[in-house]
Structure 1
Amino acid sequence: MPVKAWLQPALIGLTVLAAFIAAYIGLQRDPQPHGLPVAVAGTRLAHEVGDALGPSAHIVGVADPAAGRQALDRREVVASLSQGAGNAGDTLRLEVAGANGQSTTAIATGLVRTYAQETGQRLTVADVIPLVKFDARGLAGFYLSFGVTLAGFVVGQSVLGLTRTLPQRHRFVLIIVFSAAAGLLAAVLAGPVFGVVPAPVLPLAITLALLAAAAAFTTQMLGTYLGPIGVPVATIILLTLGNATSGAVIGARLLPSAARYISPVLPPGAAVRAVGNLSYFRSTPMLMPMITLAIWAVGAALLVAAKPKLSRTRGPA
């Protein structure tokens, strides 16, 4: 029996295992804040807080607490700090958005609380954008995106096995129809049925349909061009690295620098941001996450469509 026949599957399995552990455990074993954006009302307070928190926070100076709240609503900052007025001048008020996730909210609150204790000031904390009742840990967006990504991956892998059975246009129709159905089903289940994702059903369904198409077409594209190792590569990119760096379990700003940069450009990370914006931060622009998902879906589909033409071109040469 050739050595390659049993060695290749074993090496692929070990590589996927190592990637999974490194992504889900390695990247998240010691979350540290990296320039967490915090709005601070008042020039003097902004300078004092900035000096105290150092590189852990990025201080965004605002004119008043109302401006800080607007920045929080637009997801430009993760917290907004202001000084008490009148007799409450020795009191700090911190407004946070629990919808940003437990890890991000807890670390931002901890940083400001340490500053308040060191300066002898009282701190009151208010969660002004809380999570819904049935998503107390803020993980619904992650599980929703993970499930849709997994379903798209499975369909993409299955379609690879139908290359000799179905014409290419039929395989494309299959993925497109599946993606639309998956997006609608996931949006209805997560929203009206279970009440864990308070996003409008139609925009959420469109977002999840793009995610399913991105996962399916990317899996098919990698399998088409890379052969037997294409599916394991798709597993690492989509299911392992993409979901681990999505920012839902551990806030993206708490991940190591390399993971922070790739998080928004992979389909799961873009989808998690879009779901969060649709659910809690509806004044936040949706353009970039949707463009990211569309690029993955359409780009991978075009590459799959181009493969037969490339093969015919290389044949005569």
Structure 2
Amino acid sequence: MADQHGAHGPDGTPAHDGAGPRGDAPGDGTGAAHGAHGRPPTAAQRWRAFKASPFLPACVLLFILAAAAGLFAGSYTYAMANPTPRHVPIAIVGRETAPGGGPSREKVFADGMEEALNASLRLTAYPTYAQARKAIEEQREFAVVRPREAGVELDVAGAAGASVAELLATAGPRVGEAVGVPVRVQDIKPLQKGDPRGLALFYISLAAVIVGFVGAIQLSVHARALNPAERIAFTIAYALLGGFVIAAVVDWWLGALRLPFVHSWLILSFTMFTTGMVFTMFNTLMGRWAMIPTWGVMVLLGNPSSGGAVSWPLLPSVLGHIGQWLPPGASVNAQHTAVYFAGSQHLFPYLVLAGWSVVSCTVFWVWRHRHPGGREPEQPPAHAAE
């Protein structure tokens, strides 16, 4: 029976061999030493454990999200809170000098406008009103100043830029009264009634931009096993379907805009595909941190400088130039021309979208082995190899 209950000492208590349940160090009888597990971890060990835990990316995200919130508010406030005219292109029809000498009333009015707006108007002389009107259609000019009886007529183009047209239409009569030149203001290219502020095109382009890269994010999370060709195909598919739904809701359901439906649909789809592939490219290059450059290019920089909410002549000059080279600005530009200036299409915005798409797809395809998604090729059954 003693064998069944273990060894006992002379006093009847259980005997220990130094490695029993108490874990005492052999021979010392103190029970204070616990081997390697009893020592507190070093700073290096704590840091390695922290890096391997989910707490490191969570802490990094704390600071990234805080910075993104501030930059998001700052970028939109900087671009849109106080739009200021900078080099507004204006056509002028008529003479610079009056028949009796001295500046003509058109020139007096234009100089008064420049002083009142505290900006350098970019005046371009046209021999005829027809030529100046053509420049408006081609979006090279935002307004026309021409002689009219004893005064001048200021023709603005709301469709060319609602914020610019509003600014000029408000300042024109005041300047005319100040310089003694009667002024009549008319909008020769008005916005559609369902979009009196000219913001609907900006909103639908914004929807295409954001849903485009959010769709790519969702594919990377919920359809991670897609192979490269399948990923591109599904990006095309959700872009086509999403662009169609955006155009249908705004035009057919809400009636806010009368769109050239197929043309607008394809621009929206092109935008969604481009932004989706931009995220996929960054995901290939940067892994889980791909959202940072995508958000920076598309939202922090691209949307405020797109010219949709505030026309380019009123944006800070650097933003006005950069915005035209980014997908949001190209999308707004293409959509704006398709809706209001269909007879004067520009190739540039489509080239910008195409350039971003080609670069993104090329980077993704060449370095597709680095993309966190995809799946291993299926192995043939064992009996097939025999």
TM-score, normalised by the number of residues in structure 2: 0.74
Report the 3-state secondary structure (helix = DSSP H, G, I; strand = E; otherwise coil) of the residue aligned with 1:60.
Answer: strand
Q: For residues 105 and 92 of structure 1, what CA distance do their matches in structure 2 show?
A: 17
Deviations 1:48-74 (A, max 9, x none): 455442653100111122222221122
- Match of 1:315? none
How far did 1:153 drift?
A: 1.3
- Match of 1:286? 346
- Give the alignment of 1:139-218 within 5 angstroms: 139-161=199-221, 164-218=224-278
Q: Is the 8 A contact 1:159 1:220 kept in 2?
A: no
- Match of 2:309? 249
**Structure 1 282/211 Cα, relative in aligned 2: closer, same or farther at 3 Å?**
same
- Match of 1:314? none
Question: Per chain length, whose mean CA-contact separation is higher, i.e. which structure has more relative contact order (CA < 8 Å, sep 6+)?
Answer: 1
Instruction: Flag structure 1 segments of 5+ consecutive residues without an equivalent.
Output: 312-317
Q: For residues 116 and 66 of structure 1, what CA distance do their matches in structure 2 show?
A: 24
Q: Which of 302-311 and 276-285 deviates more?
A: 302-311
Q: Which of 160-169 and 150-159 deviates more?
A: 160-169
Q: 2:91 aligns with which of 39, 52, 66?
A: 39
Report the 3-state secondary structure (helix = DSSP H, G, I; strand = E; otherwise coil) of the residue aligned with 1:271.
Answer: helix
Q: For residues 78 and 231 of structure 2, what CA distance do their matches in structure 1 show?
A: 38
Q: For residues 269 and 156 of structure 1, what CA distance do their matches in structure 2 show?
A: 20
How far did 1:163 drift?
A: 6.9
Q: 1:122 aligns with which of 182, 187, 192?
A: 182
Report the 3-state secondary structure (helix = DSSP H, G, I; strand = E; otherwise coil) of the residue aligned with 1:43.
Answer: coil
Give 2:268's aligned amino acid: L
Q: For residues 77 and 181 of structure 1, what CA distance do their matches in structure 2 show?
A: 36
Q: For residues 285 and 164 of structure 1, what CA distance do their matches in structure 2 show?
A: 39
Number of equivalent positions:
307
- Match of 2:59? 7
Give 2:123's aligned amino acid: I
Name the % identity.
24
Report the 3-state secondary structure (helix = DSSP H, G, I; strand = E; otherwise coil) of the residue aligned with 2:343.
Answer: coil
Q: For residues 255 and 358 of structure 2, what CA distance do their matches in structure 1 show?
A: 31
Q: For residues 195 and 223 of structure 2, what CA distance do their matches in structure 1 show?
A: 41
Deviations 1:253-305 (A, max 9, x none): 11112111111111111111111111111232330011111111222111111
Q: Is the 8 A contact 1:101 1:249 kept in 2?
A: no
Q: For residues 7 and 309 of structure 1, what CA distance do their matches in structure 2 show?
A: 29
Q: Is the 8 A contact 1:78 1:108 kept in 2?
A: no
Q: Is the 8 A contact 1:183 1:205 kept in 2?
A: yes
How far did 1:130 drift?
A: 1.1
TM-score, normalised by the number of residues in structure 1: 0.89
- Give the alignment of 1:267-286 within 5 angstroms: 267-286=327-346
**Structure 1 66/164 Cα, relative in aligned 2: closer, same or farther at 3 Å?**
closer
Deviations 1:157-205 (A, max 9, x none): 1222357411111111100111112222222322333333333111111
Q: For residues 134 and 252 of structure 2, what CA distance do their matches in structure 1 show?
A: 28
Q: Is the 8 A contact 1:199 1:275 kept in 2?
A: no
Q: Is the 8 A contact 1:12 1:229 kept in 2?
A: no
Q: Which of 209-218 and 277-286 deviates more?
A: 277-286
Q: Higher helix proportion, which one?
A: 1
Q: For residues 174 and 321 of structure 2, what CA distance do their matches in structure 1 show?
A: 29
Deviations 1:209-228 (A, max 9, x none): 11001110001111221122
**Structure 1 164/234 Cα, relative in aligned 2: closer, same or farther at 3 Å?**
same
- Match of 2:74? 22
Give 2:89's aligned amino acid: P
How far did 1:5 drift?
A: 3.6
- Match of 1:103? 163
Q: 1:67 aligns with which of 128, 131, 134?
A: 131
Q: For residues 211 and 78 of structure 1, what CA distance do their matches in structure 2 show?
A: 26
Deviations 1:129-149 (A, max 9, x none): 111111111110011001111
Report the 3-state secondary structure (helix = DSSP H, G, I; strand = E; otherwise coil) of the residue aligned with 1:126.
Answer: strand
Q: For residues 41 and 105 of structure 1, what CA distance do their matches in structure 2 show?
A: 18
Instruction: Flag structure 2 segments of 5+ consecutive residues without an equivalent.
Output: 1-48, 97-103, 372-386
Q: For residues 184 and 130 of structure 2, what CA distance do their matches in structure 1 show?
A: 17
Give 1:66's aligned amino acid: A
- Match of 1:225? 285
Report the 3-state secondary structure (helix = DSSP H, G, I; strand = E; otherwise coil) of the residue aligned with 1:272.
Answer: helix
**Structure 1 268/117 Cα, relative in aligned 2: closer, same or farther at 3 Å?**
same
How far did 1:245 drift?
A: 1.2
Q: Which has the larger radius of gyration?
A: 2
